[in-house]
Amino acid sequence: MNTTLQHDHDQFDELLTVTKNWCAQYLQKLESLPVHIAMPVEKGMHLPVEGAGAAKVFEAFLQQYGAYISGNAGARYLGFVTGGTTPAALMGDWLTSVIDMNGSSMEAPSMSIEQQTISFLQELFGLPPAFTGAFVSGATMANFTGLAVAREWWGEQHGVNISDDGLHSAPPVKIISCKPHSSAVKSLSMLGLGRNSFVQIPTLPNREAIDVQALSEYIQQHPAKAYIIAASAATVNTADFDDIQALVALKKHHNIYIHLDAAFGGFAACSDRFKHLLKGWESVDSITVDAHKWMNVPYDSALIFSKHPSLQLQIFKNIGAAYLGDPSKQFSYTNYGPENSRRLRALPAWFSLMAYGKSGYAHIVENNVDLAKAMGKQIQESEQFELLSPVHLNTVCFTLKNTRGELSKTVKIFLQTLNKEGKVFITATEFAGKPAMRAAFVNWRTTQQDLDIVMHALHEVYAKTS
């Protein structure tokens, strides 16, 4: 063994203690750290020939990056749709790295942990056993997988096996949608369908939800053997939901595959107050749900649920690899998703679900939605801000009001100043043709007190910049 490696091997206990102590301290001060810290461009380094050993590298890491480690996992990071990590999920994640077991392995206990976690999630979401679930790295890969199954289904409707014979043997695919997430569009590029295969149906007025009447008219005007719809259960700007029940009703008269992107909106199912938003989702063909957002497990973790396991197998099976067994005889997650080897990412989810249960998740969701609604109300009643959409779930989409100069510039300066101060982080967007911003509540830590700090920061920065 290399002498430095040997030394580290002998010091394992000390190394872990140093790391654990740093982690505990970091977590203790998480809420007082700036939510965002900008970092200057680094000069490049060369890879050392002789390594320094783990203890020295830890010091180097802190020296180089320590000052820029922000409280981005904390309560007031409201940018994008970024969750945190529950204590139990963190324990599960550490163990995942320590055990370092291949999540796709057919060996115990990896497969049973994964199967059990997926069935917990089906219970949490109230999804019927007709769905087969699988873990992937994020909602982008879940959308990729769901749309790959849709593509395979399209081939089947036209008597073509796309995974064996390629897309060119099937008639051109159209994907009908209204406000697809950028990752769904990216998936179409990765799947060889092309970004232009999207057919955009208009939204309902001042909404991000599909106009089902316009969709029905499109279908009447374009008679076809089969249709694929990419629906949304919570858009990123306003957390708006397509009317899933109305989309599912179209299946009675037409041959339709529905893929539903419920990356964070799927968690509405955890709450009796909000699960009506997902009415009908048990009847779609595939569903994307992110775990590293509202489930508050570390990156990278998401799920694809599908009602077409045989098509999924057709696409993702490993064949001609005797050591992996026969995919038609032996179940293995390697044959149901894009990855082969991967970390046992079900374990953090298993820990968190076992630790907090149905009521814990209902609480996280309801608390976040209540805070978003409270923020929406304060925004609406203020003289400085304009609420651009009703708060459908956990996202507040708003802009500045009564400003002097051009709105796009003012919003840009406002956000730069706000985010630089580090009390809160919010991302820019555009809504209804207006430069805007959005705050998304998905962190288990966020409280009313945080909302007060956020609102105070918004008003202070408005006074400074607008």
Ligand X SMILES: *Cc1c(COP(=O)(O)O)cnc(C)c1O
> Could you say which DSSP state residue 172 is in?
P
Question: How many Cβ atoms sit within 10 Å of the Cβ of residue 186?
Answer: 15
Q: How far is the CB of 316 from ligand X (least distance, A)?
A: 18
* Cβ nearer to ligand X, comparing 140 with 352: 140
Q: Which is nearer to ligand X, 167 or 191 (CB)?
A: 191
Nearer CB in complex with ligand X: 266/280: 266
Q: What is the DSSP letter of 32?
A: G
Q: For ligand X, which is the closer residue by CB, 267 or 462?
A: 267
Peptide bond into 109 cis (omega under 30): yes
In the complex, least distance from residue 180 CB atom to ligand X, rounded to whole angstroms: 9
Q: What Å distances lie between residue 22 and 15, 62, 69, 155, 422, CA to CA? A: 11, 10, 12, 53, 22
Task: Write the CB contacts of 89 (distance below 8 Å, at least 6 apart in sequence).
Answer: 295, 296, 297, 298, 348, 349, 351, 352
**Contact indicator for 425, 458 with CB cutoff of 8 Å:** no
Nearest CB to ligand X, comparing residues 295 and 379: 295
Residues that bind ligand X (CB under 6 A): 81, 138-140, 143, 181, 183, 236, 261, 263-264, 290, 302
| Closer by beta carbon to ligand X, 88 or else 263 | 263
Non-local (6+) Cβ contacts of 406 within 8 A are none
Q: Yes or no: say if 31 and 445 are a contact pair by the CB < 8 Å rule.
A: yes
Whose CA is closest to 58, among 20, 93, 86? Answer: 20
∠ CA(149), CA(154), CA(160), 5° rounding? 105
Residue 440 and residue 396: Cα distance in Å, rounded?
6
Q: Which is nearer to ligand X, 264 or 274 (CB)?
A: 264
Structure tokens at 404: 């002097």
Phi/psi of residue 248, nearest 5 degrees = -65, -35
The DSSP bridge partners found for residue 259 are: 230, 286
Do 149 and 306 meet the contact criterion of CB atoms below 8 Å apart?
yes
Of 180 and 327, the one with the shorter C-beta distance to ligand X is 180
Q: Which is nearer to ligand X, 152 or 261 (CB)?
A: 261
Task: Report helix, strand and coil shares of the chain as percent, to nearest 5.
Answer: 50, 15, 40
- Least Å distance, CB 440 to ligand X, is 9
What is d(CA 303, CA 295) in angstroms, rounded to the nearest whole number?
Answer: 11
Whose Cβ is closer to ligand X: residue 239's or residue 379's? 239
Listed in sequence order, the residues at least 6 apart from 23 whose beta carbon sits closer than 8 Å to its beta carbon are none
CA angle 129, 358, 116 (to 5 degrees): 45
How do strand 385-387 and strand 395-400 relate by DSSP bridges? antiparallel
Residues 6+ apart with CB under 8 A from 51: 2, 4, 57
